[in-house]
Amino acid sequence: MNRPPLALLHIVISCAALILGALIFAMRKGTRRHRQVGYGYVIAMVATNLSALFIFRLSGHPGPFHLAALLSLGTTAAGFVPAYTRRPRDGWLALHYEFMAWSYVGLLAAAAAEATSRLPAAPFWGTVIGTSAAVIAAGGVLIVRNRARFKNWAVGTHIPSAN
């Protein structure tokens, strides 16, 4: 398949974000390694979404995927800034968890929609919407299940070590 260089870059960087995000969720939180991989994830997500904003192959003009890229940039920034600034003092970790988790769920939904919409005879919009909705619903359940653990950790006196 012949793809323009920007589309190939978008694919490679989004795959890197998928891998880095999975590593982050699997690793111990609050460590130097978590921060390093997290910076990589944020950089990959920003690059993925900025590249998406310049891809117009589907319709020739901005569309729903560009709006999704802006939303993704927003959730990634909303998860990064509280962790970077440690603000608000009593709630930064809960904000970091919540928005980064949604950032990754959005990435998973986009990847799943991309993969399933390529299936032969799959109705494009039905597949994209259905797959995205299923991944977002499953991700939402997992986020809510783990929310209390991060809220208690963030609101309590224990703030994880930066090292």
- For 91-150, what is each residue's pLDDT tens digit? 899 999 999 999 999 999 999 999 999 899 999 999 999 999 999 999 999 999 988 876
Dist. CA 40–CA 21, nearest whole Å: 9
Indicate yes or no: pTM above 0.95. no
Interhelix angle 5-26/32-52, nearest 10 degrees: 150
Residue spans of the domains in the chain: they are 5-155
C-beta separation of 64 from 124 below 8 A: no
